[in-house]
Amino acid sequence: FGLKAGGHLLNLDFNNLRNFSAGGTAITDSDLYKKFTPNFGAGLYYHNDQFYAGLSIPNFLQTEHFDSADGNDNLVSVDRMTWYLISGYVFEMSSALKFKPAFLLKATSGAPLQADISANFLLNDKFSMGAAYRWDAALSALFGFQMTPEFMLGLAYDSDISELGGTKFNNGSFEVFLRYEFIKKDKIDLTPRFF
């Protein structure tokens, strides 16, 4: 179980905005500068050697941002409470191969439910590869190599398949990552987890 407290600092600099529409309305100064709003969240996480599940709400309070530069309070954006649910299970296919299907659900009031599903393989506790699908939004692939017990090097590719994405606006993204895990030298992990 975990709790968090914090806040958001909204700071807009309208001087750096460019209007690309020929007949668009001019963007003027605003009262949105440096607005701080506190918030808090909570989460639950359970795991054993082969299974994990979690539920979290990072921000309980809804935050509304208003622009009152013209004397009226115009609602500009709303940060709503969002629920996240995750779970996965590791199947030992053989002594050298593990398979982990997983999912992530994201629910926000006023927005469609977002679902991610993934499938990952781990070979000899060294090589990992997998794919993920975000419902009507994206496809991704991941390859990783566990160089040492602490360091992992990987390559990922993400492609937008939504109506707004595709090749109109992007051709996907490649990412190279290096992960470091803090491992206590005197502690031996008898049940290393693939998550």
Low-confidence ranges of the chain (pLDDT < 50): none
Would you state the pLDDT for residue 9? 79
Would you state the pLDDT for residue 118? 98
Would you state the pLDDT for residue 69? 59
Paired tokens of 149:
């017990």
DSSP state of 15: G
Cβ neighbours around 50 below 10 Å, total:
16
Left if phi > 0, otherwise alpha if psi is -120 to 50, otherwise beta: which for 114? beta
Q: Please report the sign of the dihedral spanned by the C-alpha atoms of residue 161, residue 165, residue 168, residue 170.
A: negative
Residue 113: name the closest of 97, 136, 94, 95 by CA: 136
